[in-house]
Amino acid sequence: MTSSNAGAAAGNVIIRTGRALSGAAAGPANGVLNVIQTFVKGSTNTTGLLQCMSADKTVADCASNAINGIGIAVGINTNAVDVALVHSTVTVNFPSASPVAGWFACSGTLNAGTNNIVVQSGACTAGQQVGIVQQGGTS
């Protein structure tokens, strides 16, 4: 909708996930926000890997150290790939380092088709940040 009123202001959009109200597990029990978009399946798509645009409305596994990653493949069928867009909350495999909450998730070296995300305490190389680690762990 548009307005011809020069004094009009745009409206706000607020999306908030569910939150636990009490208890020791309140933090981990909070809801997560995922924005998932479906694309045409490209040449190689692997669940859990960072996806990059490879043609019109088409994605494929990102090459090493990509700067155009759009999100993580979370579902694949014969013709389509569901991609959780960058900064959605997803679980991915890391090639090394045990991630710590607050670390940066960056595109990295494609490792035998099993992962292409690295985690690090310092900022990512320009254009390679795909998220922030929200929960530490060993993978």
Give whole-number Cα distances, 125 to 55, 104, 107, 108, 130, in Å.
Answer: 25, 10, 9, 10, 11
Closest to 71 in 3D by CA, of 54, 90, 56: 90
Instruction: Provide the pLDDT for residue 90.
Output: 83
Grouping H, G, I as helix, E, B as strand and the rest as coil, residue 4 is: coil
Average the pLDDT over 18-31 and give the result.
65
The chain-wide mean pLDDT, for the chain, equals 83
The pLDDT of residue 132 is above 80: yes
Average the pLDDT over 17-45 and give the result.
79
The pLDDT of residue 58 is above 70: yes
The pLDDT of residue 1 is above 80: no
Instruction: Provide the pLDDT for residue 27.
Output: 56
Instruction: Provide the pLDDT for residue 80.
Output: 97
Average the pLDDT over 32-59 and give the result.
93
Do the beta carbons of residue 14 and residue 5 sit within 8 Å? no
Instruction: Provide the pLDDT for residue 111.
Output: 77
Which tens digit of pLDDT belongs to each residue from 75-118?
999 999 999 997 788 877 766 667 888 999 888 888 777 778 88
